[in-house]
Structure 1
Amino acid sequence: MVNCAISGAIASNPCVTPQGYTYEKRVLLSLLTTNGGICPQTKAPLSEDDLIDIIPAPQSTIPSAPTSVSGAGFSGLLSTMQSEWDSLMVETYTLKTSLEETRRELSQALYQNDAAVRVIARLTMERDQARAMLAQGGGGGGAAPAPSGGDAMEVEKSGSSAVPASALEVMTSTWNDLCKERKERKGAAGKTTRETVSGYAKKSSKTIHKSSGKTGINAVACCKANPDLIATGGVDKQVIVFNTATEKVVATKAAGSKPVNAVDWLDGSSFVSGSGDGVVKLFGGENFDEVATAEVGETVVAVDVHPSGKYVFACTGSDVSILDAGDLGVLARLGDGETDNYTRGGLHPDGLIYVAGTDKGDVHVWDVKSGSKAASLEVSGPVGGVAFSDNGYHLAVGGDDGATIFDMRKQKVIGKAGSGRADAVAWEGEGKMLAYSQGGKTMVVEAKKWEDVVVTCGGHGKDVRDIAWGEVMVTVGMDRKVIVFGK
């Protein structure tokens, strides 16, 4: 028995299209006359000549449909009802298709409207600032002439280093709120214990990115708003949204012309990505459609969403761009004009400090409010990963000799974990446990007991490239595997 792909009923006169879909021939021909000869499934051109009738084998045991009768009376009534039913099925299918398309367009329109509102607000703020500066400098005897050629571009770039006052106000307010929340929950019993983590085992292992050409997964991020969702960035230039509970791919999106190096979530329905071609993209809506794009000039090695959800920090090889989360417009840059060759970056949980590690092992600490470099730390070899603990007191940095842990209050080393190359580090949500990679394995240690491994999580055939720790711990590597660990 063959079911019709439009009506869902068993086809009495089945046919198959070149694309492999089966239909009741009568229903399909009726639809083709109304939609201009377009396949309802693939949207490709389709005519009656393309259809292939399906003929049961002579020895088939499938019961045949009753022979249709012709003529007047009851048989004619049945024929009329059949035709009306076919028309109803075609109309229902068309309405469902139209509804899905309308929903998709509405979702994208809502995000575009939100982005437009943010752009208007930002431009209004910049206009008011320009007027204020003009009023203050109006009696100064005239402006200096603008330099020409390439020098003008350099001035423009350096002039964007200051974070706008309105953005600093939001960031400072967010910092105050987070400090209050941290004080309120200080001393409260947490859910993560050594016993819980020691029982971690592999819950699932999937290979969801492309297997052809250059392969591997560079980045992973857990969604706090929807703990079942993760986003992964691959060497195949795609970002994939994956549901760890159902173990199914939710969305696959092209994120650039080079490998995706970083991903982070804004909320439960939107995320950002950064790729090797210097492109930062924002995806959102029901189907995670592309909402905005920014070109920051160089290879993006890290993207971090500010705790307020209104700004995105994108770390490139030489500087850090601060973007508006609505339209990805560049608000400011953190950099000193030197070629630092940053390899990784990370934002402090309070959102006012950014750290960026170089290929020489230097870790630069940037003060977002002043736009200046506040301190420099050092590890062995190229920086492989950076991660702050929940309260921001401790910073873990991956290097050639494992993970180095710094006390950011004293800016000194307080511990080391592991001995081999650590390309990825991650704290669990309460800052009690630290995970770091060692080749194809991930080791977990307890805070202040850096050399005491609580559990070893393996399963990768190649190096682990990134670790994300939400309600479960997720590791990704160059073998294309996404492995979920939990109790």
Structure 2
Amino acid sequence: MFCAISGAAPARPVVTPRGVLYERSLIVKAIEERGECPVTKESLSVDDLIELKAQKWVNPRPEATMSVPGLLSAFHNEWDALMLETHTLRKELQTTRQELSHALYQHDAACRVIARLMKERDDARDALANAKGSAKRSAAGDAEPESKKVKAGLPAAVVAKMNDVQKELSSGRKKREISSELATMGDISAYEAKVTQAVHKTSPAGINAVAIKAGDDNVIATAGNDHTVAIFDKVSSQRVQQLSGHSKKVLDVKFVGDNVLSCGADKVVKLWGADGSEIATFGDHTGDVTSVSVHPSNSYFVSTSTDKTWGFHDLTTSSCITLVNDDTDSAITCANFHPDGVILGAGTKDSVVKLWDAKDARKLLQLDGHASEITGLSFSENGYYLASAAKDGVKIWDLRKSKLVHEIECAGAQGVAFDHSGSYIATGGHNASVYQVKGKWELVKEFEVKKAVKAVAFGGDARSLVVASADHNLRIFA
């Protein structure tokens, strides 16, 4: 049964009174257009159509797929279409990759240009600062005192003062007894984080050094990567001052009485007053100034630099008395005065610790044993021990025997400090730890810190531990 119009099997078959079979949709259209039967040409209406009740059937497959060769031909066509689509996608992928590579090259070039411009800006700032300092020194002219000029050695008056201070401190140390208020091992093992305070900016984050004011351990100074020195008051748990003047990150900070010394990657040392004003700037180094150490007399200080020199400075005249060149081709990374103020300990980038006679710049002793650059030094108050920190750990040297007597495992050590009594030593690496000095150097407690510890310091009578880390927070455990 096939439709008289289409010749195909109808989906809805209808028949005319004359017995002609049509597909309903087709004959309805024909009647609407002409009003007659397409075959008999007789008049016909939709109401005359008689619908047949027939079973539905599945349309037969196209003849092309009813044989094996037909199927193979169909599969071949499908394969060709798939390969063409794959080729098109590959071309589009290659084009996208080239566009992405071009964009990445442009981004890298932009970053390089920005970095170069920032470096040129910093260099210009440094040059301007040095030019201002030179202009001030030139303005002083010949009227500048002879004591302000850099000399090869220390003046006799300075040496005499250092000797007097040494005698006074040595005799006083023998009479001094350990404070009855000194924290016990049990006290320290019970310490918890009492203060976690942001004192520097989050970008660039990082505190490189910490110092506690002598005689008032409620006042703490920190040196930050954000180019500033922060003064923190422990009683109020607030930053009370922020000293801005360095053009690059600040690497070390020390108290000089009520004043503050700071040094940084901008190659200068700055002296700040108690009110936050800038008193003096020392620009005698040609490289980053890595550390400062104040002489026990509070009249002098030593600075170290990546230019392989250390300088001895007079605070009263704001001048550099002498610059000492190291005899090795290595930057000086840190330094610290012996408690008597005559011996200077210095650490170098090539993993060596050196002891100098500060009075005549004569090297007394070289301590070898570390495998990486020295990151911190601390003398015990009794003057017997020197602790040195490096990425491979902390080493304890007995200066009476000039030998290594103990090693403390401290991965990535960057900070080390004895307490004032010499009874405990704190180390800073991935965490901060406190050890007992006497006996077997027993671990008292380890304090967990989120970021790497850069510096540690004890409060009075070891009643607190101040920790500076690679984030912008100052932590106090007590």
TM-score (norm 1): 0.65
**C-alpha distance in 2 between matches for 1:402 and 1:215:** 24
Aligned partner of 1:475 among 456, 464, 467: 467
Equivalent residue letter for 1:356? A
**C-alpha distance in 2 between matches for 1:189 and 1:179:** 21
* Shift in Å, 1:195: 2.4
- Where do residues 30-45 of structure 1 align in structure 2 (5 Å cutoff)? none
Larger radius of gyration between Structure 1 and Structure 2: 2
**C-alpha distance in 2 between matches for 1:475 and 1:340:** 29
Residue 454 of structure 1 is matched in structure 2 by 444
* Shift in Å, 1:359: 1.6
Aligned partner of 1:435 among 413, 423, 426: 426
SS of aligned partner of 2:186:
helix
* Shift in Å, 1:124: 6.0
Equivalent residue letter for 2:279? V
Residue 416 of structure 1 is matched in structure 2 by 407
Contact 1:161/1:371 (<8 A) preserved: no
- Where do residues 66-81 of structure 1 align in structure 2 (5 Å cutoff)? none
For structure 2, which runs of at least 5 residues remain unmatched after alignment?
1-139
In the TM superposition, what whole-angstrom CA distance separates every residue of 1:260-318 from its partner, at most 9, and x where no partner exists? 00000011x21100111111000013x22111111122211111111101011111121
Residue 288 of structure 1 is matched in structure 2 by 276
Change (3 A) 1:288 1:326: farther
Residue 466 of structure 1 is matched in structure 2 by 455
Change (3 A) 1:341 1:208: same
Give the % identical residues.
29
Change (3 A) 1:457 1:338: same
Indicate whether 1:306 and 2:295 are aligned. yes
* Shift in Å, 1:449: 4.3
Equivalent residue letter for 1:300? V
**C-alpha distance in 2 between matches for 1:303 and 1:272:** 8
**C-alpha distance in 2 between matches for 1:186 and 1:332:** 37
SS of aligned partner of 2:266:
coil
SS of aligned partner of 1:384:
strand
* Shift in Å, 1:450: 5.2
* Shift in Å, 1:205: 0.4
SS of aligned partner of 2:158:
helix
**C-alpha distance in 2 between matches for 1:255 and 1:455:** 38
**C-alpha distance in 1 between matches for 2:178 and 2:206:** 41
Residue 162 of structure 1 is matched in structure 2 by 153
**C-alpha distance in 2 between matches for 1:288 and 1:329:** 21
Aligned partner of 1:226 among 216, 219, 223: 216
Residue 171 of structure 2 is matched in structure 1 by 180
* Shift in Å, 1:451: 5.1
In the TM superposition, what whole-angstrom CA distance separates every residue of 1:63-91 from its partner, at most 9, and x where no partner exists? xxxxxxxxxxxxxxxxxxxxxxxxxxxxx
Indicate whether 1:325 and 2:295 are aligned. no
Contact 1:425/1:435 (<8 A) preserved: yes
Residue 253 of structure 2 is matched in structure 1 by 263
Equivalent residue letter for 2:334? R
Residue 110 of structure 2 is matched in structure 1 by none
Contact 2:410/2:427 (<8 A) preserved: no
Contact 2:207/2:468 (<8 A) preserved: yes
* Shift in Å, 1:188: 6.7
SS of aligned partner of 1:170:
helix
Indicate whether 1:279 and 2:268 are aligned. yes
Equivalent residue letter for 1:332? T
Residue 393 of structure 1 is matched in structure 2 by 384
In the TM superposition, what whole-angstrom CA distance separates every residue of 1:45-79 from its partner, at most 9, and x where no partner exists? xxxxxxxxxxxxxxxxxxxxxxxxxxxxxxxxxxx
Change (3 A) 1:126 1:264: closer
Contact 2:147/2:321 (<8 A) preserved: no
**C-alpha distance in 2 between matches for 1:237 and 1:405:** 33
Change (3 A) 1:462 1:391: same
Change (3 A) 1:187 1:480: closer
- Where do residues 127-138 of structure 1 align in structure 2 (5 Å cutoff)? none
* Shift in Å, 1:217: 0.7
Residue 217 of structure 1 is matched in structure 2 by 207
* Shift in Å, 1:123: 6.6
Equivalent residue letter for 2:225? V
Residue 360 of structure 1 is matched in structure 2 by 350
Indicate whether 1:348 and 2:341 are aligned. no
**C-alpha distance in 2 between matches for 1:327 and 1:282:** 12
**C-alpha distance in 2 between matches for 1:451 and 1:401:** 18
For structure 1, which runs of at least 5 residues remain unmatched after alignment?
1-118, 128-155
Equivalent residue letter for 1:382? E
* Shift in Å, 1:193: 2.5
Residue 26 of structure 1 is matched in structure 2 by none
**C-alpha distance in 2 between matches for 1:353 and 1:292:** 26
